[in-house]
A = this chain, B = another copy of it.
Amino acid sequence: MQNFLLTLAYDGTNYCGFQVQPNGRSVAQTFQDGLEAVLGCRPDIKGCSRTDAGVHALGFMLNFHADTRIPPRKLPLALNQHLPPDIRVLDARIVPEDFHARYAAHTKTYLYRIRNHPIDSPFEAAYYTRVPRRLDEARMQQAAQGFVGTHDFLALCATGSSAAAHGDTVRTITACSVTRQGDEISIEVTADGYLYNMVRILAGTLCEVGAGRLAPESIPEILASRDRSRAGPTLPAKGLFLKSVDYDL
């Protein structure tokens, strides 16, 4: 048996998330259908994270064990022929037998895309959240630095999550940046782990800063409050992309 590590990009619009769910079509299930068509078996797959319904991925990582004579470099092409166009396998390689796409991850990087314009794009409306009023990206970038470090992120956690119930809400954000290119604002966050809806709430909080409704200096205070109601709104899933996962490989 060999352990295959694959890189996927997918449009999450029509999926209930990565993980197999009782209701709705998941990316994992759809991927397994393709895998079964190519390998003739249906191995268990380990994803680097659960992504929520409607969240996209530029570099989702998963691994599975299988016996096949197909060389890794030929796997992407073979699998893509059996997957719908909204899921693409970008890369495949062999990793050590005990490698696990989730547990081996040092950090994961998410991207949140905002279109800061009064009018939607006819091309990309499924891939950003639109904020009509001008946001001040310099204020947002300043505020973003308040999230960097090891903190209790309970204030950025959707209420009712299991991590919150277990008091397991300390994470380390190693980088957080806000950049503008024309009408597009990109928020990038790298962390060792995330609470439920954490990036979407973090992005919503930065938008409050960008719109002038929160001070850039208010982030440490919001985190210290451990109070979800002090942070900004949860932005929609469609602007969120899992960008990359960092491993020692």
- The residues of A with any CB-CB pair to B shorter than 8 Å are 9-11, 56, 76-77, 80, 85-90, 118-125, 127
CB-CB under 8 A from A119, the residues of chain B are: 76-77, 80, 88-90
A80 to B89, CA, bound (A): 37
Please determine whether B88 and A121 come into contact, CB atoms closer than 8 angstroms.
yes
Q: Kindly list 6 other residue pairs between chains A and B, CB separation below 8 angstroms, not including A9-B122, A85-B120, A123-B127.
A: A76-B119, A77-B118, A80-B120, A88-B119, A88-B120, A123-B124
Closest-CB distance, A91 to chain B (whole angstroms): 9
- What is the distance, in angstroms, from A216's C-beta to the closest C-beta of chain B? 31
In the complex, what residues of B have CB within 8 A of residue A76's CB?
Answer: 118-119
Q: How far is the CA of A118 from the CA of B85 in the complex (A)?
A: 14
Interface core residue of A87, A122, A124 (most chain B CB under 10 Å):
A122
- Residues of chain B lying within 8 A (CB to CB) of residue A118: 76-77
Q: Please, which residue of chain B has its CB at the minimum distance from the CB of A57?
A: B122
What's the Cα separation between A87 and B90 when bound, in Å? 32
List B contacts of A90 (CB < 8 A).
119
A121 to B124, CA, bound (A): 13
- A125 / chain B contacts, CB cutoff of 8 Å: 85
Contact residues in B for A87 (Cβ distance below 8 Å): 122
CA distance A10 to B123 in the complex (A): 8
The 4 closest A-B pairs by CB, nearest first: A11-B122, A86-B122, A88-B122, A9-B122
In the complex, how many angstroms separate the beta carbon of A230 from the nearest chain B beta carbon? 33
| 6 interchain pairs, CB-CB under 8 A | A9-B121, A77-B118, A80-B120, A85-B125, A90-B119, A123-B127
CB distance from A95 to the nearest CB of B (A): 20
In the bound complex, do residue B77 and residue A123 qualify as a contact, i.e. CB atoms below 8 Å apart?
A: no
